[in-house]
Amino acid sequence: MSSRMAQWGNDLYTGDRSINFVGKSRTWYIISAVIMAVAALGFLVQGLNLSLEFTGGSEFRVATSGAPADYEDEATAAVREVAGNAASANVSTLGGTTIRVQTEELDGDQAREVAQQLATTFGVESNKVSSSFIGPSWGASVSQQALRALVVFIIITTALMALYYRNWKMALASMVALAHDMLITVGIYTWTGFEVSPATLIGFLTVLGYSLYDTVVVFDHVKENTRAAFQNKRSTFANAANLAVNQTLVRSVNTTVIAVLPILAVLVIGFAKLGPGTLLDLSLALFIGMTVGAFSSVFIATPLLVDLRRKDPEVLALDKAAAKQPVRTPLRESVPAGAAPTTTKGATPAASTSAPSTSVSSRDAEPVAGETPQTVTGRAVHKYAQSAGPRNQPKKTPRNRRGSR
């Protein structure tokens, strides 16, 4: 199984196998547009469930030996007995033993009475109940600082990417993918009702950096492949960019899985044992954002870049020149019946057009002596990207066999 996966990744890298991400860009756009529309609708229907740090109010924590099964009803009844039947209470447990009760703003006397009533209800001493008050002005300050940090991050990142790639369209494509990730992530919070706390905002900002990092890795390969294509005129801009996505696909999947697994473990422990808190809020935002970010870097960023540059004069000239080159058929795609087989450099052409057509790829062709194997863009294949085995596994030679010198 592992050898098949390694071979599959190696085929994607060399171009012997290809997934048409760029060619099906309209499909990805439609899927993303539907998801983003549903996410945006959540702001109108549900809205964000802001934590006490943003809305302001009073919070009580009751330290018990174990929360009873009906702790929510008992805590709500205790609050309403003091503050009135119209009072609302958000009740949850922390670590399975501490009961947290959040209410609207209460004055000093009401807060003391609620604390005493909670102590009586759960049969604990009064010193086991702590109370705190958070004003709405503090939450407004946190929101303003978060928005300011987001604006500064976007401005600086856009400028740096435009300078690094020397192309503003690459920066624009990466920012669109970034906005795509953030809208879907926040939209999931609106529909699920997950609480948005300051720790959640930290997670959102961290997700922006992770998503941008994954996109930059893909764009680096796009830059290398398209540069080679402009030099040798062997591939269109779209094909060179699509090859870059295929070459980084395995890396993107592996990186995302490795990053998400420990976060998933924290989530399971948080929901099962710890309860609401900073750790759970942060890990939940990271889990959702990283998963969505892996999708955008593969299915949105590069196809959008190709569409933005499709009408550029240099891209049109490249596509016209590449159309005159022999087509290199991927190993896993067959030539239509009755068509002449596609040959690559060094391959022996068919003796007659009436012969059965076959699929010929760089692997089927015998390499010319002294030449370095190349991908479909004309770039030299990495020395460990061998057709006979997985990458990073050099072939054995008498020099490196045991007992040979």
Contact indicator for 39, 186 with CB cutoff of 8 Å: yes
Q: How far apart are CA 159 and CA 401, in angstroms?
A: 52
pLDDT at 37: 92
Judged against a pLDDT cut of 60, whether residue 79 lies above it is answered with yes
- Residue 188 contacts by C-beta under 8 Å, 6 or more apart in sequence? 39, 194, 288
pLDDT band at 297 (very low <50, low <70, confident <90, very high): confident
pLDDT in tens, 360-396: 333 334 444 444 555 555 555 554 444 444 444 444 4
Residue 78 CA to residue 66 CA, distance in Å, equals: 18
Task: Say how many residues make up the chain.
Answer: 405
Instruction: Answer yes or no: pTM beyond 0.85.
Output: no
| pLDDT score, position 198 | 78
Structure token digits, residue 167: 């192309």
Max avg pLDDT among 26-30, 90-94, 234-238, 271-275: 26-30
- Could you give the CA distance from residue 13 to residue 247 in angstroms, rounded to a whole number? 4
Lowest model confidence (mean pLDDT) among 43-57, 112-126, 390-404: 390-404
**Residue type at 201 in one-letter notation:** L
Identify which has the larger pLDDT, 228 or 333.
228
pLDDT at 339: 44
Segment among 67-76, 238-247, 299-308 with least mean pLDDT: 67-76
Is the pLDDT score of 326 beyond 60?
yes
Q: Does residue 224 or residue 79 have the better pLDDT?
A: 224
Please, which residues bridge with residue 90 across strands?
Answer: 102
Burial class (CB in 10 A: 0-12, 13-18, 19+), 364: middle
The answer to whether the CB of 182 falls within 8 A of the CB of 300 is no
Calculate helix-pair angle for 237-269, 198-232, nearest 10 degrees. Answer: 160
